[in-house]
Amino acid sequence: MERYRIIYEDRDIVVVDKPAGLLTVPIPKSSALNLFDMLKIQLGRTGPVYVVHRIDRFTTGVVLFARTKGAFEDLKQQFIDRSASRMYQAIVHGVPKEPEGTLVHNLKLIKNSFRNVVVKPGAKDGTEAVLHYRVAEEYGDAALVEVMLETGLKNQIRAQFAEIGHPVIGDHQYGSRLDLMGMDRHALHAYKLGVTHPRKNERMWFECPLPKDMQALLARLKNR
């Protein structure tokens, strides 16, 4: 597993490029490495670290942490009121019929399997999930899509694209185990994040390049 990389740091926030396979935060009854504890060890001498949001263990890309309680509360509210901009790149099976659009589903968290599943509107414990997407490249039986999250539920992108028949390539939970196209994890990357800095009050954008395994997958798709 590659090591995480700090891409921006000041007295209020720290922004990290998380590698695949590293948990964002610890999970109960597990001793697996996680980014939060590793940052606390690295940055502990300069103050506390607060978790603002998280991405899935095998998703790569931008993760934001706060360094003060005030910054944490400000940034957390931006995620709650949906003013934070979260953008992803995913490589999916097939090509969505519409080149761009909005997906709206109800997701229900299955706690014993740590995953969300799509349920009918109005179902008990269902929560609305909304995302916007654009097909960036087509490869015949696959596509690179850019996704902007409006809500941020667990596994949301993976569950919603699987529901419309275009699961993320390499996804063992929501897609086909038989057609991984050389990926040993789901091809999903949190590539861009926009927030208003809690002290400077200016919009800041943080971006991480596509990881090597997804670059290699795109190269294989292009050269077939």
Which residues are known to be catalytic? 56
Q: Which amino acid is at 87?
A: M
Tally of CB atoms within 10 A around 26: 14
Asked if residue 143 lies in contact with residue 134, where contact means CB atoms within 8 angstroms, the answer is no
192, two tokens: 């861009």
C-alpha 17/C-alpha 208 separation (Å) is 6
φ, ψ dihedrals at 75, nearest 5°: -70, -40
Q: From residue 87, how far is each of 69, 111, 146, 183, 206 by CA, in Å?
A: 26, 26, 7, 21, 10
Question: What are the tokens at 210?
Answer: 């596509």
Interatomic CA distance for residues 167 and 160, integer angstroms: 8
Lookup result for tokens 């597993």? 1
In whole angstroms, give the CA distance from residue 24 to residue 65.
Answer: 10
Tokens read off for 150: 């409006």
DSSP secondary structure letter of residue 8: E
Distances (CA, A) of 130 to 121, 155, 156, 187, 216: 13, 12, 9, 20, 30
